[in-house]
Amino acid sequence: MALTITSECINCDVCEPECPNQAISMGETIYVIDPAKCTECVGHFDEPQCVQVCPVECIPVDPDHVETREQLMSKYFGLQVQAARPAPVEMVPAPLDQIVPE
Ligand code: SF4
Ligand code: SF4
């Protein structure tokens, strides 16, 4: 399963930098976890790193995103491939000599 952050979150900012998958970000009012990126830390660590550091224990498993360890490992490999892929051409900045000053 991916994990989720409950409304008890106190926005302490501690978990976000600990996530090896960049799955945690600031939402509208509290931090949120992107289930497409959360592998429960499978592939990186033995234990979910966000759970380890959260001072108020507000990061349970997300019952809406039930996944086996094999599925989490597969997600991990998918994320690794995505990270290694070159940026799409439109996102590559133009060489400096092609940038026309305004
Ligand atoms: Fe990130 Fe791991 Fe927490 Fe999932 S369990 S949000 S991958 S730190
Ligand atoms: Fe919220 Fe816990 Fe993350 Fe702190 S560590 S921002 S309380 S989820």
- Specify which residues 24 forms β-bridges with: 33
Ligand 2 neighbours (beta carbon < 6 A): 5, 9-15, 31, 53-54, 56, 58-59
Q: In whole angstroms, give the CA distance from residue 1 to residue 60.
A: 10
Å from CA of 24 to ligand 2 middle: 10
Q: In whole angstroms, give the CA distance from residue 65 to residue 32.
A: 14
Return per-residue pLDDT of the chain as tens, 102 residues.
689 999 999 999 999 999 999 999 999 999 999 999 999 999 999 999 999 999 999 999 999 988 999 999 999 999 999 888 876 666 666 665 665 666
Which residues, including other chains, have CB under 8 Å from residue 18's CB and lie 6 or more apart? 49, 50, 52, 53
CB 3 within 8 A of CB 50: yes
The whole-model pTM stands at: 0.84
Q: In whole angstroms, give the CA distance from residue 39 to residue 48.
A: 9
